[in-house]
């Protein structure tokens, strides 16, 4: 191994994050129960320092490192920055909530940081092994986080379910990867891509590999019909944890989907495209129709996640650069909206009140017009109505789908989003048209307030001028 | 002096900014909110008059054009401009918003700032819809205005407001999403979202038919046409007066405007091939919905059905043109039909606004919209009764009022297409007279049957100003429609030439 191959600069952000996480782990041991805010502050600091490291490493010449298993490209940089940003937002929004329930533990932040490390590894990995390594690091951290409220039966059940089904999904993925390795003889994505393109590998085995890999991936992102775990986990986990699970990990999951399907197996696009069409159609249906039956706002947002995953898959299955760019754009939009949505639940909660039922939103406009306005922006953005970012995300995906001449799929998607609009409107109905049951709002710390306000206004501002975000997503793939 | 101003941008964003300012002032001082809203809407109205003075009615090309890149990755532009078709509708919007702000002056006591802000923001979006020349920008405003309207009906509406507002939102949303897919499809054919490029885009018959149907769903729901009109009576009845006025006077016109800006010029051959369908639906609306109106006991519902019936004239005028052009003696009839449709839209804007405001005046006093709750209003409110009779006559289409001009032009033009179409359309003169005058008879005239009616005070100054300004325009367009027709003449001629040429 030459000295050049040992260059650690490409993974400097990951190393920094790991070091800081270990340091926080040590410091946290000496913190007493009431001093978790110190751990919180240090965690945010670690995320900021890591972001700076990512930013300073952008535009580095060395694209591949560690003998081709680590990649640093535009996609990884953009994704890492958004993962760090969204995670920092999630921590800020969950702080009061966790404190009120006595579960603001050091573990929550530390597992969160290790989860972020796993996501960053996923985003930068360019070989099957590293992809799996990152995925497991992230998943293990998240399984434990769901159970952070040990005495809560629902949370424990959610954690158990998450762990068992997550392990099953990992197993499927790993099985598919092993077959892919078997027929192509390589773990590196470029080599696999060439082998698939060359057509030397056995078609049957490749097809099997594709089926298992796709199944494992959609299991992880919670696309229907492999979505069963998602509402239970998102609903059962403490809202502060749901905030973390629901947003940033989807960005990392998109990274491995794009690396595996969009890069390694792009040669067999028609095969996995058909599979993804099935999953996308099912997700859009389940996510939008089943959500109507929910009385819990939190569970409704979980189903809304499933429908958003359907849209993201639509972008991916287009198989074009514009399609991948639209999937990335949609995922970032989704993460911003979701962190706002669950963040709002955590914000409205108080000691003894989860505020996760739709009825808890009643009369929000009378209690706090500003928070009702934030809810308004979030709901209309999720429904894809103009003047919000969500509209442009849907437009981008629809364009990608129409471009590959699948107009029927676009029509199906828009009809489903009309059905979906119903339950977003119902949440707004509670907030605007009904009389409040309780008065006023629990005062919240400045950071949660700031993050929620900035998030809501950003969705509105980007709804008016999304140009740079769309262009950023397009340049990552040299599209547009 | 004003030539270099970005007038249209000002008209789109000034109301929205005023709305935000009004929201920020909040409900601490409702009076300040009202004054600020009135000032904002008046200012916008005055600025919109600059469009009239600076308008060149000799050309059909777009004027006051502003064209900037917006989302360059998708080739979406910020592209505003008006011609003779959109300009009158923008003036109608700015004028009506002033009235709506006035009409809500003391009636709205709860959440005044949100009420006023919703209408101001909606005004900006509606102007944006009329002025947008980029298809996505059009859709952006077209959809966006559902947000404030959803809140207006839902917060300040009547007892069944939640049902009505959800129905309104979902119906319109469902209609418009197909249009979005059609627009994206055309983008990949023409490489641009510019509406003008889409006008020139050659499309084969299958494409045209599907695109035409996508547009039809969007605009037929919006205008609304029979049989997708059922959201309108619900929305009208439950909405507060201001909401009904904006719905009837402007939002319905967006459907008609859409037909003229999108359906006819983009898919002329499909419009030609399927014109029988639209004509049939229009005639059903004119006759059948007229009878439905006759059966109503709720005044607002009656006017809502009358709106649908009148909108039937608009769609009839727009789609009868192909039959006129096919007829050798139909020379000049096509332009007449389209102009009639346009004038009917503007005129209906004034008349329906007046009718809903008049019902609002009575509702504020008695809190009932039932016809049977009234009777003999003329003796307690003589001034009001005079106005109502005028507006009722205009609604019937009496010569000398604006309602006559548009309907007469459409009937006259239809005669050049087919006698029976003109005959059926002309039935409205009887049916419309029946439901309108019967309502007037039961509400305004007769003996006072309820003591509350006798105690109703006549119009106050604010209400008088609203009624008088509307009466002024109803009569002005009625006796002297020339300036209005003149403004749209060049654009309509251009449209007729455009749709006369097959794209195949």
Average pLDDT over residues B330-343: 84
Q: How close A475 comes to chain B (CA, Å)?
A: 9
pLDDT tens-place values along chain A, 480 residues long: 455 556 788 888 999 999 999 999 999 888 887 888 889 999 999 999 999 999 988 876 667 888 888 888 889 999 999 999 999 999 999 998 888 888 888 889 999 999 999 999 999 999 999 999 999 999 999 999 998 888 888 889 999 999 999 999 999 999 999 999 998 888 999 999 998 888 777 788 889 999 999 999 999 898 888 888 999 999 989 999 999 999 999 999 999 999 999 988 888 888 899 999 999 999 999 999 998 888 899 999 999 999 999 999 999 999 899 999 999 999 999 999 999 999 999 998 888 788 888 888 888 888 888 999 999 999 999 999 999 999 999 999 999 999 998 999 999 999 999 999 999 999 999 899 888 887 777 888 888 999 999 999 999 999 999 999 999 999 888 754
Is the Cβ of A433 closer than 8 Å to some Cβ of chain B?
yes
The alpha-carbon gap from B110 to the nearest alpha carbon of chain A, in Å, equals 11
Q: Which of A414, A422, A433 sits opposite B161 (nearest CB)?
A: A433
- Tokens describing residue A144: 């434990």
pLDDT of residue A435: 87
Region B276-305 average pLDDT: 90
Backbone angles phi, psi at B492, to 5 degrees: -70, -40
For residue B129, give the 3-state DSSP assignment: helix
Q: Which residues from A are below 8 Å from B178, CB to CB?
A: 411, 414
Q: Which of A387, A402, A466 sits opposite B144 (nearest CB)?
A: A387
Pick from A415, A421, A470: CB nearest B71: A470
Mean pLDDT value across chain B: 89
Neighbours of A368 (CB within 10 A): 18
Give pLDDT, residue A480: 47
Contact (CB<8Å) B181/A410? yes
The answer to whether A150 faces chain B, any CB pair under 8 Å, is: no
The residue that leads in pLDDT, B373 or A212, is: A212
What pTM, to 2 d.p., does this model score?
0.93
- Nearest chain B alpha carbon to A471: B73
Strands A70-71 and B63-71: unpaired
- Nearest CB neighbour to B151, from listed A396, A402, A432: A432
Contacts of A428 in chain B (CB under 8 A): 150, 154
Do B37 and B116 touch, CB atoms closer than 8 A?
Answer: yes
Position A389 scores a pLDDT of 93
Nearest CB to B184 within list A380, A402, A467: A402
Contacts of A429 in chain B (CB under 8 A): 154, 162, 166
Residue from A432, A472, A475 whose CB has the most chain B CBs within 10 Å, to mutate? A432
Q: Do B72 and A425 touch (CB under 8 A)?
A: no
Q: What is the pLDDT of residue A479?
A: 57
Q: Which residues of A touch B144 (CB under 8 A)?
A: 385-387
Which chain B positions have a beta carbon within 8 Å of A414's beta carbon? 177-178, 180-181
Min distance A339 CA to chain B CA atoms (Å) = 22
Answer yes or no: do B140 and A387 touch at CB < 8 A: yes
Taking contacts as CB-CB distances below 8 angstroms, the residues of chain B near A432 are 151, 154-155
Place of tokens 């049977």: B372
Measured distance CA(B148)–CA(B12) in Å, rounded: 15
Select the residue of A395, A403, A432 nearest B188 (Cβ to Cβ).
A403
Residue B442: pLDDT band (50, 70, 90) is confident
Q: Do the chains contact at B72 and A392, CB–CB below 8 Å?
A: no
Residue B158 has pLDDT above 50, yes or no: yes
Q: Which residues contact A72 (CB under 8 A, 6 or more apart)?
A: A10, A57, A60, A62, A63, A64, A65, A124
Look at residue B334 in the predicted model and tell me its pLDDT: 85
Contacts of A465 in chain B (CB under 8 A): 70
For residue A431, the distance in angstroms to the closest alpha carbon of chain B comes to: 10
Q: How far apart are CA A175 and CA A423, in angstroms?
A: 39
Facing A402 at nearest CB: one of B136, B144, B188: B188
- Chain A interface mutation, best of B73, B115, B124, B211, highest count of A Cβ atoms under 10 Å: B73
Q: Which residues contact A10 (CB under 8 A, 6 or more apart)?
A: A57, A60, A62, A65, A66, A70, A72, A124
Rounded distance between C-alpha atoms, residue A368 and residue A432, angstroms: 11
d(CA B368, CA B363): 5
Distance from CA of A433 to the nearest CA of B (A): 5
Place of tokens 């179409």: B421
Q: pLDDT value at position B450?
A: 80
Chain B contact residues (CB < 8 Å to A): 26, 70-74, 111, 114, 136, 139-141, 143-144, 146-147, 150-151, 154-155, 161-162, 165-166, 169-170, 173-174, 177-178, 180-181, 184-185, 187-188
Nearest to A433 among B74, B162, B184 (CB): B162
Among B141, B146, B185, the residue with its CB nearest the CB of A407 is B185
User: In Å, how far is B126's CA from the nearest CA of chain A?
Assistant: 13
- Interface test with chain A among B16, B74, B155, by most A beta carbons within 10 Å: B74
Size of interface A-B (CB pairs under 8 A): 93
Angle between helices B135-144 and B161-190 (to 10 degrees): 170
Going by C-beta distance under 8 Å and a sequence separation of 6 or more, which residues neighbour residue A251?
Answer: A79, A82, A83, A86, A119, A123, A331, A332, A335
* A422·B166 Cβ contact <8 A: yes
| Closest chain A C-alpha to B107 CA, distance in angstroms | 18
Q: What is residue A439's predicted lDDT score, i.e. its pLDDT?
A: 77
Q: Do A470 and B74 touch (CB under 8 A)?
A: yes
Closest-CA residue of chain B to A432: B155
Which of A109, A107, A56, A64 minimizes the C-alpha distance to A80?
Answer: A56
For residue A1, what pLDDT is reported?
47
Angstrom distances, CA of residue A156 to CA of A147, A159, B452: 5, 5, 65
Closest residue to B73, CB basis, from A429, A432, A480: A480
In eight-state DSSP terms, residue B370 is: B
B-chain CB neighbours of A380 within 8 Å are 147
* Residues of chain B with C-beta less than 8 angstroms from the C-beta of A387: 140, 144, 147
State the average pLDDT over residues B404-417.
88
Put simply, the answer to whether B114 touches A369 (Cβ < 8 Å) is yes
Contact flag B73-A474 (C-beta cutoff 8 Å): yes
Question: Binning pLDDT at 50, 70 and 90, where does residue B443 land?
Answer: confident
Residue whose C-alpha is closest to residue B424's, from B226, B282, B225, B311: B282
Locate the chain A residue with the closest alpha carbon to B69.
A467
Q: Using CA atoms, how far apart are residues B159 and A23, in angstroms rounded to an integer?
A: 61
pLDDT of residue A355: 83
CB contact under 8 A, A421 and B170: yes
CB–CB contact B177 A386 (8 Å): no
Decide if the complex's ipTM is over 0.85.
Answer: yes
Given a cut of 70, whether residue B3 has pLDDT beyond it is no
Give the burial string for A121-136 (b: 16+ CB within 10 Å, else e).
bbbbbbbbebbbbbbb
Task: Find the residue in B nearest to A396 (Cα).
Answer: B74
H runs (alpha helix) in A58-152: 74-100, 106-124, 128-146
Measured in angstroms, the CA of B68 and the nearest CA of chain A are apart by: 12
Is A414 within 8 Å of chain B by CB?
yes
Assess A56–B contact: CB distance below 8 Å, yes or no.
Answer: no
């Amino acid at each position: 191994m030459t000295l050049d191959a040992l260059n650690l600069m490409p993974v400097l952000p990951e190393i920094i994050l790991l070091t800081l996480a270990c340091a926080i782990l040590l410091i946290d041991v000496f913190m007493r129960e009431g001093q978790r805010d110190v751990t919180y502050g240090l965690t945010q600091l670690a995320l900021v320092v890591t972001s700076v490291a990512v930013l300073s490493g952008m535009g580095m010449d060395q694209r591949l490192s560690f003998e081709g298993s680590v990649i640093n490209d535009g996609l990884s940089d953009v994704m890492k920055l958004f993962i760090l940003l969204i995670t920092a937002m999630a921590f800020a929004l969950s702080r009061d909530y966790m404190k009120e329930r006595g579960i603001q533990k050091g573990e929550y932040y530390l597992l969160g940081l290790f989860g972020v490390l796993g996501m960053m590894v996923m985003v930068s990995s360019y070989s099957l092994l590293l992809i799996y390594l990152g995925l497991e690091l992230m998943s293990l951290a998240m399984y434990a986080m769901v159970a952070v409220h040990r005495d809560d039966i629902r949370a424990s059940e959610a954690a158990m379910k998450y762990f068992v089904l997550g392990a099953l999904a990992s197993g499927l993925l790993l099985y598919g990867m092993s077959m892919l390795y078997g027929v192509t003889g390589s773990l590196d994505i470029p080599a696999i891509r060439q082998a698939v393109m060359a057509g030397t590998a056995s078609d049957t085995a490749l097809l099997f590999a594709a089926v298992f890999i796709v199944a494992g991936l959609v299991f992880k992102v919670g696309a229907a019909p492999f979505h069963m775990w998602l509402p239970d986990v998102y609903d059962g986990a403490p809202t502060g944890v749901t905030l973390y699970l629901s947003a940033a990990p989807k960005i990392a999951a998109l990274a491995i989907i794009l690396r595996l399907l969009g890069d390694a197996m792009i040669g067999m696009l028609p095969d996995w495209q058909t599979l993804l069409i099935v999953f996308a159609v099912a997700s859009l249906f389940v996510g939008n129709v089943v959500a109507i039956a929910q009385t819990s706002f939190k569970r409704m947002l979980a189903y809304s996640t499933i429908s958003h995953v359907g849209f993201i898959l639509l972008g991916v299955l287009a198989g074009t650069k514009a399609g991948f760019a639209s999937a990335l754009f949609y995922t970032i939009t989704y993460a911003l909206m979701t962190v706002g949505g669950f963040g709002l639940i955590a914000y409205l909660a108080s000691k003894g009140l989860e505020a996760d039922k739709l009825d808890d939103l009643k009369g929000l406009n009378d209690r706090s017009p500003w928070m009702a306005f934030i809810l308004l922006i979030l709901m209309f953005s999720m429904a894809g109505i103009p003047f919000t970012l969500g509209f442009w995300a849907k437009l981008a995906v629809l364009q990608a789908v129409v471009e590959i001449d699948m107009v029927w799929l676009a029509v199906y998607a828009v009809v489903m989003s009309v059905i979906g609009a119903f339950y977003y409107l119902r949440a707004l109905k509670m907030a605007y048209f009904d009389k409040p049951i309780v008065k006023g709002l629990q005062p919240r710390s400045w950071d949660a307030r700031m993050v929620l306000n900035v998030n809501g206004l950003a969705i509105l501002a980007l709804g008016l001028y999304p140009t740079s975000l769309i262009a950023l997503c397009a340049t990552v793939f040299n599209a547009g | 002096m004003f030539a270099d101003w970005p007038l249209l941008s000002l008209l789109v964003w000034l109301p929205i900014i005023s709305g935000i300012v009004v929201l920020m002032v909040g409900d601490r001082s409702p009076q300040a909110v009202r004054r600020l809203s009135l000032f904002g809407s008046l200012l916008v109205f005055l600025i919109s008059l600059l469009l009239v003075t600076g308008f060149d009615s000799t050309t059909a090309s777009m004027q006051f054009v502003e064209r900037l890149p917006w989302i360059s990755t998708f080739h979406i532009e910020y592209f505003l401009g008006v011609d003779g078709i959109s300009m009158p509708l923008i003036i109608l919007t700015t004028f009506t918003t002033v009235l709506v702000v006035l009409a809500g002056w003391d009636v709205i006591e709860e959440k005044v700032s949100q009420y006023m802000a919703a209408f101001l923001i909606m005004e900006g979006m509606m102007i944006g819809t009329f002025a947008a020349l980029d298809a996505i920008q059009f859709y952006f405003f077209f959809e966006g205005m559902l947000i404030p309207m959803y809140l207006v009906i839902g917060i300040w509406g009547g007892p069944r407001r939640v049902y009505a507002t959800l129905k309104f939102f979902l119906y319109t949303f469902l209609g418009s999403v197909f249009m979005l897919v059609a627009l994206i499809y055309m983008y990949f054919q023409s490489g641009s979202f510019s509406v003008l490029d889409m006008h020139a885009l050659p499309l084969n018959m299958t494409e045209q038919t599907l695109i035409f149907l996508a547009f039809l769903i969007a605009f037929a729901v919006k205008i609304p046409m029979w049989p997708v009109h059922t959201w309108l009576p619900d929305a009208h009845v439950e909405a507060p007066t201001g909401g009904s006025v904006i719905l009837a006077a402007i939002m319905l016109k967006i459907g008609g405007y859409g037909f003229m800006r999108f359906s006819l010029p983009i898919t002329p051959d499909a419009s030609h091939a399927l014109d029988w369908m639209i004509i049939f639906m229009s005639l059903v609306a004119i006759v059948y919905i007229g009878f439905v109106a006759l059966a109503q006991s709720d005044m607002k519902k009656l006017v809502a059905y009358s709106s649908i019936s009148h909108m039937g004239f608009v769609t009839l005028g727009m789609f009868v043109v192909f039959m006129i052009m096919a007829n050798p003696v139909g020379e000049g009839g096509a332009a007449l039909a389209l102009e009639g449709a346009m004038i009917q839209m503007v005129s209906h804007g004034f008349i329906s606004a007046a009718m809903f405001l008049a019902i609002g005046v009575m509702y504020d006093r008695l809190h009932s919209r039932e016809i049977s709750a009234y009777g003999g209003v003329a003796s307690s409110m003589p001034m009001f009764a005079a106005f109502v009779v005028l507006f009722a006559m205009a609604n019937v289409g009496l010569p000398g009022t604006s309602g006559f001009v548009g309907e007469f032009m459409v009937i006259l033009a239809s005669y050049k297409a087919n006698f029976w179409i003109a005959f059926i359309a002309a039935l409205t003169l009887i049916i419309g007279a029946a439901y309108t005058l019967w309502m007037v008879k039961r509400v305004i005239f007769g003996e006072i049957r309820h003591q509350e009616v006798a105690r109703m005070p006549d119009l106050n100054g604010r209400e008088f100003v609203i009624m008088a300004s509307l009466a002024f325009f109803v009569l002005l367009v009625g006796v002297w429609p020339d300036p209005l027709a003149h403004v749209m003449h060049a654009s309509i001629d251009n449209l007729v030439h455009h749709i006369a040429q097959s794209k195949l």
